[in-house]
């Protein structure tokens, strides 16, 4: 029996693949056999090297998802070597301030990247997935803030809550047409987004005290979930938001 987690022959696009969770997902998908296309604002040389180290293939598309301008180009360049079978919407930004002090610019910047561009890139890729009747897999990177409120990150919480809802809506529309739309909700990982929290001794101690696993997540911890949701093993999985959180939501 063939390995249901084997991604050989598939092409996967991962946004925000230059570092952190996006890089780890790209490496995991490449190691499982997929040809990976990274999309990001900055150089992805390190990601390319890490994917090569696990025997995978990697190419890069330079684009800033702060606006919708590059979306058609992203789809064209990413699909130049073959159809896009998997889309991982990982690109995201965060801005921190008390709700009373939060600015319109910080609201719009986060919503544009985390939610608006995610939707319209997914729309553009899905049109191609549906055109040949072969479907595909879409994985949105949500957050624990898709379930909880958090503090001092109003636009991030709103965007990630919206992304969970969007995941379910698209699953309802496309499940019967061969596209699986699911999400992963990472817990507290060692990434650029959490650096401020990790440097705050009081907040870091409180967070660690709430995680049953007793540690911050390493980016490599998310790879298996991404491989699963990209693979044939998840063909009957639609509209879930899968926490990878060290047990945070269980406590």
Residue numbers annotated as active site: 156
Distance CA 155, CA 160 (A): 9
Looking at residue 74, what DSSP letter applies? Answer: H
Residues 6+ apart with CB under 8 A from 98: 152
Report yes or no: 36 and 16 within 8 Å, Cβ to Cβ. no
What are phi and psi for residue 166, nearest 5 degrees? Answer: -65, -40
Phi/psi for 107 (5° steps) reads -65, -55
CA nearest neighbour of 12 among 29, 27, 28, 24: 29
What phi-psi label fits residue 152: left (phi over 0), alpha (psi between -120 and 50 degrees) or beta?
Answer: left
Distances (CA, A) of 109 to 94, 155, 169, 225: 9, 9, 24, 28
Phi and psi torsions of 242, nearest 5°: -90, 110
Residues in a beta bridge with 217: 189
């Amino acid at each position: 029996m063939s390995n249901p987690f084997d991604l050989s022959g598939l092409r996967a696009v991962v946004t925000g693949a230059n570092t952190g969770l996006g890089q780890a997902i790209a490496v995991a998908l490449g190691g499982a056999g997929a040809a990976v296309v990274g999309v990001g604002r900055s150089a992805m040389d390190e990601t390319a090297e890490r994917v090569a180290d696990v025997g995978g293939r990697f190419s890069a598309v330079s684009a800033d998802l702060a606006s919708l301008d590059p979306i058609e180009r992203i789809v064209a360049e990413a699909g130049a070597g073959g159809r896009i079978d998997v889309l991982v919407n990982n690109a995201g930004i965060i801005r921190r301030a008390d709700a009373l002090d939060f600015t319109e610019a910080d609201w719009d910047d986060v919503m544009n990247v985390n939610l608006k561009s995610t939707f319209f890139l997914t729309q553009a890729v899905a049109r191609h997935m549906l055109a040949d009747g072969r479907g595909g897999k879409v994985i949105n990177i949500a957050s624990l803030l898709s379930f909880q409120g958090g503090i001092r990150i109003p636009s991030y919480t709103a965007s990630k809550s919206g992304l969970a809802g969007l995941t379910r809506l698209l699953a309802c529309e496309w499940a019967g047409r061969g596209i699986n739309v699911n999400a992963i909700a990472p817990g507290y990982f060692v990434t650029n987004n959490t650096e401020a929290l990790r440097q705050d001794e009081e907040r870091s101690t409180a967070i660690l005290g709430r995680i049953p696993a007793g540690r911050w997540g390493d980016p490599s911890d998310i790879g298996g979930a991404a491989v699963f949701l990209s693979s044939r093993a998840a063909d009957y999985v639609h509209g879930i938001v899968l926490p990878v959180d060290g047990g945070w939501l269980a406590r």
